Amino acid sequence: MSLLRLLDRLDKAMFMVIHNDSDAPRLDGFMLVIRNPIVWIPLYAFLLYYSIRKAGARAWKFIVLSVLTFAITDSVSASLLKPLFARPRPCHDPELQPFLRNILECVGLYSFPSSHAANHFGLAAFWYWALWIMTGKKWPVLWVWAALICYAQVYTGKHYPSDIAAGALLGYTTGLLMAKIFEYLWNAGAKYEMGGLKPEV
């Protein structure tokens, strides 16, 4: 058996453990809720308010780079990498059909990498480091938030674990890069203020 074939078998075995063997009907509704983007609108609204409260006129840097982080992770994962790798979702795999719980409708053809994982780990990484730069406080709960959403993607049968891992790596790398840009812009604004000049906002 080739290495790639072995990795694929392990990936599917892990998928079955999470999606089928570890299922609990009482968790189904919870998993469906936490993977729904609409549920997290209050979180996004709070971070908008929090950034404005803490950064004032410089909050635009946090807001714009948050949107840019999401735009990059979503477009790269969905429009570039998924068609490139063309890996069918678990619900399109005949081998897995008898074991699928059909919690969600089978929508979308390709699964690698997970856009949910890329988007949420991208935002988690950017927010984690940007908030630390901005306020001196770290929010580890952001990693838990992203991880729960990613777990729900496998639990509901939308993705293989490797889809999640690849998406999370893409997201983290993008978020970290955006955080570095934010740090540069934030420090540049601070230098203007220290020099007695009005920062450009």
| 201 pLDDT higher than 70 | no
pLDDT band at 188 (very low <50, low <70, confident <90, very high): confident
Rounding to the nearest 10 degrees, give the CA dihedral for residues 168, 173, 176, 182: -110
Render pLDDT for 74-95 as a digit per residue (tens, 0 to 9): 999 999 999 999 999 999 999 8
Give rounded-to-5 percent helix, strand, coil for the chain. Answer: 75, 0, 20
- The Cα-based distances of 15 to 30, 104, 144, 192 in angstroms read 19, 15, 20, 52
CA distance 134 to 107: 39
Q: Which residue has the tokens 């950017």?
A: 126
Structural domain includes residue 11:
no
Written as six digits, the tokens of 151 are: 């777990």
Structural domain includes residue 132:
yes
pLDDT band at 51 (very low <50, low <70, confident <90, very high): very high
Structural domain includes residue 95:
yes
| 191 pLDDT higher than 80 | no
Structural domain includes residue 27:
no
Structural domain includes residue 78:
yes
Identify the domain containing residue 70 by its residue range.
49-99+110-194
**Number of domain units in the chain:** 1
Structural domain includes residue 149:
yes
Structural domain includes residue 151:
yes
Structural domain includes residue 34:
no
pLDDT of residue 177: 98
pLDDT band at 197 (very low <50, low <70, confident <90, very high): very low
Rounded to two decimals, the pTM is 0.90
